[in-house]
């Protein structure tokens, strides 16, 4: 596998925000979201064997592991990695763009599916069956750039009855949409969603890697 970094930090997003977590960040992504904050993952990285990755994760002594990217599922070996981590008893999160079929993923893992809003520029890359198979252990994340994105996201939540099927996360694009605006929209519409910020960007510098 091609790995950009493996590190131990505070989980900054999802319903697991605030928990210590080991991140396995794979290299490569077929998408180019307008607001991407991890472009450094598009190339470079280091080739590591499966056993080397597992050994590195073990050194941190942390039960929560997130497989992320880039787009981790762009590398077929990621599916095996997720299964191996589950077999070793880790609580495994998989952060994925939604562009690649999640059906082969080990169902012991928790999928955090980034549903691409129009403002991302990648709406046409969504693989919609991924949304349809979300369950109670999974989460749907909408990164919202403006009011148009918000209105669109509300429509998707309703269309797929997402709030009844999984945790739904609404997050503003960092530095583009003021958090107060999004929070007020959510409150005004009585939405059954979880508002979130990228916690790690408030603990450390927003562009800092390895956190």
Question: Is residue 106 situated within a structural domain?
Answer: yes
Question: Is residue 210 situated within a structural domain?
Answer: no
At residue 210, the pLDDT reads 84
Count: domains in the chain: 1
Q: Which domain holds residue 156?
A: 2-203
Label residue 207 by pLDDT band (50, 70, 90).
confident
**4 membership: H or E segment, kind and range:** strand 2-10
At residue 123, the pLDDT reads 96
86-126 pLDDT, tens digit per residue, is: 999 999 999 999 999 999 999 999 999 999 999 999 999 99
Pairing of strands 110-114, 139-144: parallel
**Do residues 36 and 70 make contact, with C-beta atoms less than 8 angstroms apart?**
no
Confirm whether pTM is higher than 0.75. yes
Q: How far apart are CA 142 and CA 171, in angstroms?
A: 6
pLDDT above 90 as % of the chain = 95
What is the phi-psi region of residue 71: left when phi exceeds 0, alpha when psi lies from -120 to 50, beta otherwise? beta
Question: Is residue 211 situated within a structural domain?
Answer: no
Q: Please choose, from the candidates 131, 87, 120, 129, the residue with its C-alpha nearest in 3D space to the C-alpha of residue 106.
A: 87
Question: Is residue 155 situated within a structural domain?
Answer: yes
Cis upstream peptide for 109 (omega within 30°): no
49-72 pLDDT, tens digit per residue, is: 999 999 999 999 999 999 999 999
Q: What is the CATH number of the domain that holds 28?
A: 3.20.20.70
Question: Is residue 209 situated within a structural domain?
Answer: no
Question: Is residue 177 situated within a structural domain?
Answer: yes
Question: Is residue 40 situated within a structural domain?
Answer: yes
Question: Is residue 208 situated within a structural domain?
Answer: no
Q: How far apart are CA 50 and CA 54, in angstroms?
A: 6
């Amino acid at each position: 596998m091609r790995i950009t970094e493996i590190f131990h930090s505070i989980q900054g997003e999802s319903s697991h925000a605030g928990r210590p977590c080991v991140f396995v960040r794979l290299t490569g992504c077929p998408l180019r979201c307008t607001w991407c904050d991890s472009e450094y993952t598009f190339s470079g990285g280091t080739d590591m064997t499966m056993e080397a990755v597992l050994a590195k994760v073990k050194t941190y002594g942390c039960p929560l592991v997130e497989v992320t990217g880039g787009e981790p599922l762009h590398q077929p070996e990621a599916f095996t990695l997720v299964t191996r981590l589950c077999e070793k008893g880790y609580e495994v999160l998989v952060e994925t763009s939604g562009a690649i079929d999640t059906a082969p993923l080990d169902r012991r893992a928790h999928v955090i599916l980034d549903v691409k809003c129009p403002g991302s520029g990648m709406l046409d890359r969504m693989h919609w069956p991924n949304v349809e198979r979300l369950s109670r252990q999974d989460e749907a994340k909408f990164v919202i750039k403006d009011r148009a994105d918000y209105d669109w996201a509300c429509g998707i939540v309703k269309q797929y009855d997402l709030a009844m099927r999984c945790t739904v996360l609404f997050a503003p694009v960092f530095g583009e949409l003021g958090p107060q605006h999004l929070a007020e929209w959510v409150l005004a519409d009585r939405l059954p969603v979880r508002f979130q910020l990228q916690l790690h960007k408030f603990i450390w510098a927003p562009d800092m890697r390895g956190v």
